[in-house]
């Protein structure tokens, strides 16, 4: 009987000590505990979305890694200045690396998405059609306008105007998908569907537009275009989706490291074209062509933003849709235009506008990412 009473007393004291420890921890959460007095449940370190946290707070190092996207505008600006003043820092990153780099960015989007997101995107045919109109109707009209102005108003050589028109004839850029992902993540699948559709049909539309605007029919490599879509868009996103579906613990482990790597890759994609084509920008016509290209892209960004606000004003996510369509209209595959100019035009001046567009399209797009992301945070 005495032994039972002694056991009950020990159990009571043990519970009291445990309660005192918890009360002390609640009063002073910063208090340090020894391993003997406080055992950590490591299973609680992982939140539902895979982020590592301690007592509900994200670990400082992982928080810095995951928030590194906020440094993207500064990194892009730094890479721009470095490419201008020291081109060899980026000239090694040639076109052969561009497709794998964009593929990595698409993989990052896939890891942070699910197949349901893409199924939902296909349920918005009106928005997809609006993106297509922006790519192959609004933008070519702007290209024709600025191409004509370059010769009639500014007295630039005719091949420069042809280069501006050629830029307006190509499909959307994969960087627009990543820009949308940084600004409005739920809209990324819709942006990818828009860009993939414009890229797939560019095989037929780009030669037709070039014939109408420039008077020269440009043969486009159908197999090469399809292969590009598969390598840069379909395969990386599918890999990310499958990894997220069947191995979520792997995604949880690599997800914190994707933002800093994506920032680094984006800086390369922006700095390399500038470093490689810096001679075109500083040429005798460079600054004037630069001004025209900036005006062309700025007009496309503005029209792409405000027109959807008129036609989709009743949509609950109209602002996010406006930003998405602005990226889709203002950013295009200038590298494709550059390749077509070098291959099918004898005059080297035709390639100058696409070369400058490759740089300015990226800089202007990610400047909007910075402004819109900051506005969302403050609001």
Which of 155-169, 184-198, 252-266, 339-353 comes out lowest in average pLDDT?
339-353
Is the pLDDT reported for residue 39 higher than 60? Answer: no
Three-point CA angle 265, 183, 291, nearest 5° = 70
Beta-carbon contacts of residue 10 (< 8 Å; ≥ 6 apart): none
Burial of 23 (0-12, 13-18, 19+ CB in 10 A): exposed
Instruction: Determine the pLDDT at residue 226.
Output: 67
Whose tokens are 């890891």? That residue is: 111
What is the mean pLDDT of the segment spanning 160-186? Answer: 87
Distance, in Å, from the CA atom of 188 to the CA atom of 118, rounded to the nearest integer, reads 9
Band (pLDDT 50/70/90 cuts) for residue 22 is: very low
- pLDDT of 221 reads 61
Give the three-class secondary structure for 54. strand
Which residues, other chains included, contact 325 with Cβ-Cβ below 8 Å and sequence gap of 6+? 127, 130, 131, 134, 304, 305, 307, 308
User: Is the separation of the CB atoms in 373 and 185 below 8 Å?
Assistant: no
What is d(CA 49, CA 58) in angstroms, rounded to the nearest whole number?
11
> CA nearest 268: which of 350, 187, 191, 175?
175
H or E segment to which residue 229 belongs: helix 222-229
Which position has the higher pLDDT, 264 or 376?
264
What's the rounded mean pLDDT across residues 155-164?
90
Query: Residue 351: how many CB atoms within 10 A of its CB?
Result: 22
The separation between CA 343 and the C-alpha centre of its own chain, rounded to angstroms, equals: 28
Residue ranges of domains in the chain:
97-375
Of the candidates 257, 142, 159, 295, the residue with the CA atom closest to the CA atom of residue 214? 159
203: pLDDT strictly greater than 80? no
C-alpha 352/C-alpha 155 separation (Å) is 16
- Which pLDDT score is estimated for 218? 58
Q: Rounded mean pLDDT of 9-20?
A: 44
Please report the pLDDT score of residue 207 as a whole number. Answer: 83
Instruction: Assess contact for 83 and 89: CB atoms under 8 A.
Output: yes
55: left (phi over 0), alpha (psi -120 to 50) or beta: left
Residues 96, 325: Cα–Cα separation, whole Å:
29
- pLDDT, tens only, 91-112: 898 878 877 887 888 788 788 7
Task: Look at 284 and 40; give whichever has higher pLDDT.
Answer: 284
Q: What is the mean pLDDT of the chain?
A: 77
pLDDT of residue 14: 46
The pLDDT, as a whole number, for residue 60 is 60
Most confident by average pLDDT, 22-26, 211-215, 253-257, 317-321 = 317-321
What CATH fold (topology level) applies to the domain 97-375?
Answer: Na+/H+ antiporter like fold (1.20.1530)
Whole-number pLDDT of residue 376: 65
Least-confidence region, from 55-64, 100-109, 290-299: 55-64
Model confidence at 5: pLDDT above 80: no
With cut-offs at 50, 70 and 90, classify the pLDDT of residue 347.
confident
Strand partners, 172: 332
CA atoms within 13 A on the CB side of 353: 33
Could you give the dihedral angle defined by the CA atoms of residues 337, 343, 346 and 350, in that order, rounded to the nearest 10 degrees? 10
CB proximity list for 336: less than 8 A, separation 6 or greater: 170, 171, 202, 206
Instruction: Choose between 21 and 192: higher pLDDT.
Output: 192
**Interatomic CA distance for residues 366 and 331, integer angstroms:** 10
The radius of gyration of the chain's CA atoms, rounded to the nearest angstrom, is 26
Average pLDDT for residues 13-39, to the nearest whole number? 42
Is the pLDDT assigned to residue 170 strictly greater than 90?
Answer: no
First to last CA, the chain: 69
The pLDDT assigned to 349 comes to 82
Band of residue 19 on the pLDDT scale cut at 50, 70, 90: very low
């Amino acid at each position: 009987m005495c032994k039972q009473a002694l056991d009950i007393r020990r159990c009571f004291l043990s519970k009291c000590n445990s309660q005192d420890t918890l009360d002390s921890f609640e009063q002073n959460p910063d208090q340090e505990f020894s391993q003997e007095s406080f055992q950590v449940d490591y299973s609680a370190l992982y939140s539902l979305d895979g982020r590592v946290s301690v007592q509900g707070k994200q670990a400082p190092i992982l928080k810095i890694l995951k928030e590194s996207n906020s440094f993207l505008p500064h990194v892009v600006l730094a890479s721009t200045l470095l490419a201008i003043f020291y081109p060899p820092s980026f000239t090694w990153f040639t076109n052969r690396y561009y497709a794998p780099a964009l593929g990595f960015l698409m993989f990052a989007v896939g890891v942070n998405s699910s197949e349901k997101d893409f199924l939902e995107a296909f349920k918005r045919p009106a928005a997809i059609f609006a993106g297509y109109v922006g790519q192959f109707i609004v933008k070519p009209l702007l290209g024709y306008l600025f191409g004509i102005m370059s010769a009639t108003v500014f007295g630039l050589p005719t091949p420069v105007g042809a280069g501006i028109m050629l830029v307006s004839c190509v499909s959307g850029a994969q960087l627009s998908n990543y820009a949308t992902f940084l600004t409005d993540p739920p809209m990324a699948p819709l942006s990818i569907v828009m860009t993939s559709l414009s890229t797939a049909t560019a095989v037929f539309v780009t030669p037709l537009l070039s014939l109408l605007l420039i008077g020269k029919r440009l043969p486009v490599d159908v197999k090469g275009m399809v292969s590009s879509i598969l390598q840069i868009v379909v395969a990386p996103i599918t890999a990310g989706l499958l990894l997220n579906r069947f191995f979520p613990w792997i995604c949880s482990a690599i997800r914190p490291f994707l933002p800093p790597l994506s920032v680094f890759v984006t800086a390369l994609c922006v700095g390399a074209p500038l470093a490689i084509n810096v001679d075109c920008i500083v040429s005798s016509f460079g600054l004037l062509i630069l001004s025209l290209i900036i005006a062309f892209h700025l007009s496309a960004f503005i029209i792409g933003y405000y027109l959807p606000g008129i036609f989709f004003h009743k949509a609950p996510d109209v602002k996010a849709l406006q930003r998405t369509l602005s990226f889709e209209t203002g950013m295009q595959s200038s590298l494709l235009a550059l390749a077509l100019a070098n291959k099918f035009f004898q005059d080297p001046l035709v390639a100058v506008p696409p070369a400058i567009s490759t740089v300015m399209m990226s800089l202007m797009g990610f400047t909007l990412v910075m402004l819109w992301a900051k506005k969302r945070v403050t609001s």
